[in-house]
A and B are shown apart, each in its own frame.
Chain A
Amino acid sequence: MGEKRQFKVWRGDETGGDLQDYQVEVNEGEVVLDIIHRLQATEAPDLACRWNCKAGKCGSCSMEINGMPRLGCMTRMSTFSETETITVTPLRTFPVIRDLVTDVSFNYEKARETPAFAPPVGVAPGEYRMQQVDVERSQEFRKCIECFLCQNTCHVVRDHDENKNAFSGPRYFIRAAELDMHPLDAREDRKTYAQQHQGLGYCNITKCCTEVCPEHIKITDNAIIPMKERVVDRKYDPLVWLGSKIFRRHPDDDELVQSGSSHAVSAGPAMTGVDLPDAHERTEEQEVERGVNWHRRVGPAQLPAVGANGRLGVSEAAFDRSGAASPFGDDVEFPLPPRDLNYAHPDQD
Chain B
Amino acid sequence: MTTTATRPVGAQARASISARTLRTDRWWIAPLITVIGLSAWIAYATVRVYMHKWFFVEDYHYLTPFYSPCLTDRCGDAAEFGTFLPNWWIIPEAALTLPFLLLFRLTCYYYRKAYYRSFWLSPPACAVPDGHKTYSGETRFPLIFQNAHRYAFYAAGIISVINTWDAIKAFHSPEGFGFGLGNLILILNVVMLWAYTLSCHSCRHIAGGRLKHFSRHPVRYRFWTFVSKLNTRHMQLAWITLATLAITDFYIMAVSAGWFGDVRFIN
Interface status of A343 (Cβ within 8 A of chain B): no
Q: Kindly name the residue among A96, A206, A226, A311 whose own CB sees the greatest number of chain B CB atoms within 10 A.
A: A206
From residue B195, how far is it (CB to closest CB) to chain A in Å?
Answer: 16
What mask results when residues 3 to 17 of chain B are scored 1 for a CB within 8 Å of chain A, else 0? 111111011111111
Contacting pair A309 B12 (CB below 8 A): no
Q: Which residues of B contact A134 (CB under 8 A)?
A: 212-215
CA distance A199 to B135 in the complex (A): 12
From residue B80, how far is it (CB to closest CB) to chain A in Å?
Answer: 28
Interface status of B22 (Cβ within 8 A of chain A): yes
CA distance A123 to B255 in the complex (A): 69
B2, B112, B212: which contacts A330 (Cβ < 8 A)? B2
- Find residues 225-275 in chain A having any chain B CB closer than 8 Å to their own CB: 225-226, 228-233, 235-237, 251-253, 255-257
Contacting pair A155 B130 (CB below 8 A): yes
Interface status of A58 (Cβ within 8 A of chain B): no
Q: Which residues of B contact A87 (CB under 8 A)?
A: 22, 24
Please, which residue of chain A has its CB at the minimum distance from the CB of B134?
A160
CA distance A136 to B208 in the complex (A): 14
Q: Which residues of B contact A320 (CB under 8 A)?
A: 3, 5
Q: How many residues of A contact B (CB 8 A)?
A: 88
Q: Kindly name the residue among A102, A207, A212, A308 whose own CB sees the greatest number of chain B CB atoms within 10 A.
A: A207
From residue B112, how far is it (CB to closest CB) to chain A in Å?
Answer: 6
Interface status of A131 (Cβ within 8 A of chain B): yes
Contacting pair A66 B24 (CB below 8 A): yes
What mask results when residues 185 to 226 of chain A are scored 1 for a CB within 8 Å of chain B, else 0? 000000000000001011111111001100000000100011
From residue B81, how far is it (CB to closest CB) to chain A in Å?
Answer: 25
B-side interface size class = 35 or more
Interface status of B147 (Cβ within 8 A of chain A): yes
Q: Given A92-B15, A255-B216, do A229 and B202 touch, yes or no (CB 8 Å)?
A: yes
Q: Which residues of A contact B211 (CB under 8 A)?
A: 255
Interface status of B59 (Cβ within 8 A of chain A): no
B4, B6, B15, B201: which contacts A89 (Cβ < 8 A)? B15
Contacting pair A314 B15 (CB below 8 A): no
Interface status of B77 (Cβ within 8 A of chain A): no
Q: Which residues of A contact B134 (CB under 8 A)?
A: 160, 162
Contacting pair B113 A207 (CB below 8 A): yes
B21, B112, B210: which contacts A229 (Cβ < 8 A)? B210
From residue B113, how far is it (CB to closest CB) to chain A in Å?
Answer: 5
Q: Which segment of B41-49, B61-69, B137-145, B241-249 sits at the interface?
A: B137-145
Q: Which residues of B contact A207 (CB under 8 A)?
A: 113
Q: Which residues of B contact A326 (CB under 8 A)?
A: 2
CA distance A230 to B222 in the complex (A): 20
Contacting pair B7 A103 (CB below 8 A): yes
Interface status of A156 (Cβ within 8 A of chain B): yes
Q: Which segment of B89-97, B121-129, B156-164, B172-180 sits at the interface?
A: B121-129
Contacting pair A208 B129 (CB below 8 A): no
From residue B214, how far is it (CB to closest CB) to chain A in Å?
Answer: 5
From residue A319, how far is it (CB to closest CB) to chain B in Å?
Answer: 5
Q: Which residues of B contact A10 (CB under 8 A)?
A: 15, 17
Interface status of B87 (Cβ within 8 A of chain A): no
Interface status of A23 (Cβ within 8 A of chain B): no
Q: Which residues of A contact B113 (CB under 8 A)?
A: 204-207
CA distance A159 to B129 in the complex (A): 6
Interface status of B23 (Cβ within 8 A of chain A): yes
A97, A211, A307: which contacts B5 (Cβ < 8 A)? A307
Contacting pair A89 B216 (CB below 8 A): no
Interface status of A95 (Cβ within 8 A of chain B): yes
Q: Which residues of A contact B147 (CB under 8 A)?
A: 228, 231-232, 235-236
Contacting pair B6 A311 (CB below 8 A): yes
B123, B127, B143: which contacts A64 (Cβ < 8 A)? B127
- Find residues 59-100 in chain A having any chain B CB closer than 8 Å to their own CB: 64, 66-69, 84, 87, 89-90, 92-97
From residue A29, how far is it (CB to closest CB) to chain B in Å?
Answer: 23
Q: Which residues of B contact A68 (CB under 8 A)?
A: 23, 25, 126-127
B12, B138, B202, B210: which contacts A203 (Cβ < 8 A)? B138
Contacting pair A103 B17 (CB below 8 A): no
Interface status of A125 (Cβ within 8 A of chain B): no
Contacting pair B2 A325 (CB below 8 A): yes
Contacting pair A96 B130 (CB below 8 A): no
From residue B263, how far is it (CB to closest CB) to chain A in Å?
Answer: 40
Chain A to chain B contacts (Cβ below 8 Å), 25 pairs: A15-B11, A89-B15, A92-B127, A103-B7, A103-B12, A136-B214, A153-B126, A183-B213, A199-B139, A204-B138, A206-B116, A206-B122, A212-B126, A225-B109, A229-B201, A233-B210, A253-B212, A255-B212, A255-B213, A305-B1, A313-B5, A318-B5, A325-B2, A330-B1, A331-B1
Binding site for A on B (CB under 8 A): 1-8, 10-17, 19, 21-25, 109, 112-113, 116-117, 122-123, 126-127, 129-130, 134-139, 143-144, 147-150, 201-202, 204-205, 209-216, 221, 231-232
For the complex of A and B, 10 pairs with smallest distance between CB atoms: A307-B6, A67-B22, A67-B23, A202-B137, A208-B126, A229-B205, A201-B139, A159-B130, A96-B15, A95-B12
